[in-house]
Structure 1
């Protein structure tokens, strides 16, 4: 049985959570095991043993980020309609305490498009599929193009929000779009 298929040890879980907090602050683009290990009280050798490789660690960190996202998306189930779902999604995304997660999501999304193999494989498509599935549950009869439009507006607005920090303007744009639904 490999380390990846075995039940995670308490130390592995502890280091994954510490590494997750680290990448929320520092990103994944220039992740180096030595500074990461020093920052979280470990060693590169221990990280490699526990996660198999740097790519294995990155995959686990991406899965951890998606777990936060999916936990919120799971709270939106029910037939609440696209506008209500989009409003709640925007409130969640735009909250200042989520900016590190959104930056990490943007970084991983972009990397998965330009590096479709390895640690980043499928991240962008999986998140699109997750969000569209949730939007389908919120308004099952909605035209798939409407769901895609809602997702595109939200994604564009949070890219803009992260780039500019202008929550008032981006929030107003989202609300204008929701009024048109």
Structure 2
């Protein structure tokens, strides 16, 4: 039976949100329907009925996590007045470094890795999709001439590499002040290169 997500019921929406909060605390790698259902006041049978199977539930949870990530990214899009890569990256880093976002970011890192080692599972395409999402948003933060220039994609890729590397360091160490100082330093260098190339 396919998951019933085209027009989710109120109950499906409530259970998805509860399951998402559970996944933020416990991750998805070892997700088991019975403990999840018990924790959110449901049953494995109901979850199977609403989401089709465990993979359907995992896909719905990944879509929910991605929606939160995309909400941040969409807030950076200002096509009429692009903020530039350095400013956009600083805004993104401030959000990434906030301690209240660590559960979501741990879930993101877990899913990113899972999509690389299990490309046929419910996480299929997650890593590639998230790279494309972020590069697309960063492109929208560049002035048109920079975006279209040959080096525009290189600058976006470097900016994303700085943010992703710093995020993994922060998740591993929790050393927000050291990592933030490094991010600021590297973004200033990237910004200097951008200005020198203009």
Structure-2-length-normalised TM-score:
0.89
| TM-aligned CA distance change 1:144 to 1:169, over 3 Å | same
Aligned length: 181
Residues 81-109 of structure 1 show CA distances to partners (whole Å, capped at 9, x for unaligned) of 00000000000011000000000000000
Counterpart residue number, 1:55 = 55
Structure 1, unmatched stretches of 5+, are none
Equivalent residue runs for 1:89-128 within 5 Å: 89-128=92-131
In structure 1, C-alpha distance between the alignment counterparts of 2:180 and 2:5, rounded to whole Å: 42
In the TM superposition, what is the alpha-carbon distance from 1:178 to its structure 2 partner?
Answer: 1.1
Does structure 1 residue 160 correspond to structure 2 residue 189? no
Q: Could you say which structure has the larger radius of gyration?
A: 2
In structure 1, C-alpha distance between the alignment counterparts of 2:3 and 2:109, rounded to whole Å: 29
Structure 2, unmatched stretches of 5+, are 192-198
Counterpart residue number, 1:44 = 44
In structure 1, C-alpha distance between the alignment counterparts of 2:120 and 2:29, rounded to whole Å: 15
Counterpart residue number, 1:11 = 11
In the TM superposition, what is the alpha-carbon distance from 1:6 to its structure 2 partner?
Answer: 3.6
Q: 3-state SS of the aligned residue for 1:14?
A: helix
In structure 1, C-alpha distance between the alignment counterparts of 2:52 and 2:119, rounded to whole Å: 20
Does structure 1 residue 23 correspond to structure 2 residue 23? yes
In structure 2, C-alpha distance between the alignment counterparts of 1:63 and 1:37, rounded to whole Å: 19
Counterpart residue number, 1:134 = 137
In the TM superposition, what is the alpha-carbon distance from 1:2 to its structure 2 partner?
Answer: 5.3
| TM-aligned CA distance change 1:164 to 1:136, over 3 Å | same
